[in-house]
C-alpha cells in the first residue's frame, strides 16, 4: 500500500493509516472521495462535494460538508502553495457500540490523506485494454451512486483475474449482464454524436468526471448523452470507447478481451476541454 505524504485524523497530524477500530475498516461503514490537486487547487471539488453529501445522507453519517472542509483546510495548511497530487478524504462512523449495529446518532472520524505527485496538467492517459470479470456485480439501489468503503462485490467478481498487467483494467457487468464500470473508472461508448454510458440507479458509482462530461462538456461539444443499459456486444458498433475518473482524467480503450477497439478523437477533445477549464 502506498503511504501518504501527509495524513490527518480529525484535523490533527497522524502517523499511521486507518485504525483497526474504525467502522470503515471493520464494516465498510463510511464514504470517501479521491480528488486531484493541481497547483494547490482542487479543480473538480464542487462535484466531489455533491457526491460526498449524498453519501453522508445515505449512510446517515453525522457530519456536514463544513466539518469535512475544515479538516481538509488544516491539511492544506501543511502543503506547498503549488502542491500537486491526490487528496483522499474518508468519513467513517465512530465505533463504541455493539457489533455491527449503528442505531442512533453517532460521531464520525474524518481521515484526510495527501499523496504527492509530479506536476502534470494533462487529463489524457495512454490507452488501456479491458478484461471482463467473470463474476457480476449485484444490484443494490440503496448504495448506488455513492463511494462507500466496501469494495467486496468488485473483488469477488474479479477473482478470476489474478494476472492484471499495467495497461489493463477490469470491466464489470451487473447481474443482468449490462456494463457497469471498471474498479476505478466510469465508461462511455461513442456512437457518432451521441455518448452512451451505463445507468447508475441500480449499481455503480456516480463518477465526478462522468457528471462533468454529462453536464458540461457534452452540451458544449454538441453531443447528446444517453444513460442506458449497454451490452458487451455493443462495443463492436462503437466508434470509440473511453474511461474516465477525476484523478486520471480520460483513458482511451484500445481492446476488450483482446478484441481491438477503434481509436477515436473525442477523448482527447474532452481532455483538452478539461485542461482549459480546470487546470
Q: Which domains are present in the chain?
A: 6-116 (3.30.470.10), 128-278 (3.20.10.10)
Residue 104's CB is within 10 A of a number of other CB atoms, namely 8
**pLDDT at res. 14:** 85
Instruction: Return the C-alpha cell found at 228.
Output: 442506458
**pLDDT at res. 223:** 97
**pLDDT at res. 99:** 57
User: What is the mean pLDDT of each successive set of 10 residues along the chain, which is 279 residues long?
Assistant: 82 72 82 97 96 96 94 95 96 73 73 92 96 97 96 94 91 97 98 96 98 97 98 94 98 97 96 92
Rounded to whole angstroms, how far apart are CA atoms 260 and 233? 13
In degrees and rounded to multiples of 5, residue 75 shows phi and psi of -65, -45
**pLDDT at res. 173:** 98
**pLDDT at res. 47:** 96
In degrees and rounded to multiples of 5, residue 25 shows phi and psi of -70, -45
**pLDDT at res. 276:** 94
H/E run at residue 218: helix 218-220
**pLDDT at res. 23:** 84
**pLDDT at res. 7:** 86
**pLDDT at res. 3:** 78
**Residues sharing a CB contact under 8 Å with residue 100, sequence separation 6 or more, in sequence order:** 26, 27, 29
**pLDDT at res. 19:** 60
- Full-prediction pTM beyond 0.75? yes
**pLDDT at res. 101:** 61
Amino acid at each position: 500500500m502506498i503511504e501518504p505524504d501527509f495524513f490527518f485524523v480529525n484535523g490533527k497530524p497522524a502517523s499511521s493509516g486507518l485504525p483497526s477500530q474504525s467502522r470503515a475498516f471493520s464494516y465498510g461503514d463510511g464514504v470517501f472521495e479521491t480528488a486531484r490537486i493541481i497547483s494547490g487547487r482542487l479543480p473538480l471539488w464542487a462535484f466531489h462535494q455533491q457526491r460526498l453529501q449524498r453519501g453522508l445522507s445515505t449512510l446517515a453519517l453525522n457530519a456536514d460538508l463544513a466539518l469535512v472542509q475544515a479538516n481538509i483546510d488544516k491539511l492544506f495548511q501543511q502543503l506547498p502553495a503549488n502542491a500537486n497530487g491526490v487528496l483522499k478524504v474518508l468519513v467513517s462512523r465512530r465505533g463504541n457500540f455493539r457489533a455491527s449495529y449503528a442505531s442512533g446518532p453517532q460521531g464520525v472520524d474524518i481521515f484526510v490523506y495527501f499523496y504527492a505527485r509530479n506536476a502534470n496538467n494533462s487529463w489524457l492517459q495512454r490507452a488501456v485494454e479491458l478484461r471482463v470479470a467473470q463474476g457480476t456485480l449485484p444490484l443494490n439501489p440503496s448504495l448506488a451512486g455513492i463511494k462507500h468503503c466496501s469494495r467486496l462485490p468488485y473483488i469477488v467478481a474479479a477473482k478470476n483475474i489474478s494476472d492484471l498487467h499495467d495497461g489493463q483494467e477490469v470491466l464489470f457487468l451487473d447481474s443482468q449482464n449490462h456494463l457497469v464500470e471498471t474498479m476505478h473508472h466510469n465508461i462511455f461508448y461513442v456512437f457518432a454524436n451521441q455518448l452512451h454510458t451505463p445507468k447508475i440507479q441500480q449499481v455503480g458509482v456516480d463518477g465526478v468526471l462522468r457528471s462533468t462530461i454529462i453536464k458540461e462538456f457534452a452540451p458544449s461539444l454538441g453531443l447528446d448523452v444517453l444513460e442506458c443499459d449497454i451490452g458487451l456486444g455493443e462495443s463492436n458498433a462503437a466508434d470509440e470507447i473511453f474511461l474516465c475518473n477525476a484523478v486520471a482524467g480520460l483513458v482511451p480503450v484500445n481492446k476488450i478481451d483482446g478484441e481491438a477497439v477503434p481509436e477515436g478523437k473525442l477523448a482527447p477533445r474532452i481532455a483538452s476541454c478539461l485542461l482549459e477549464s480546470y487546470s
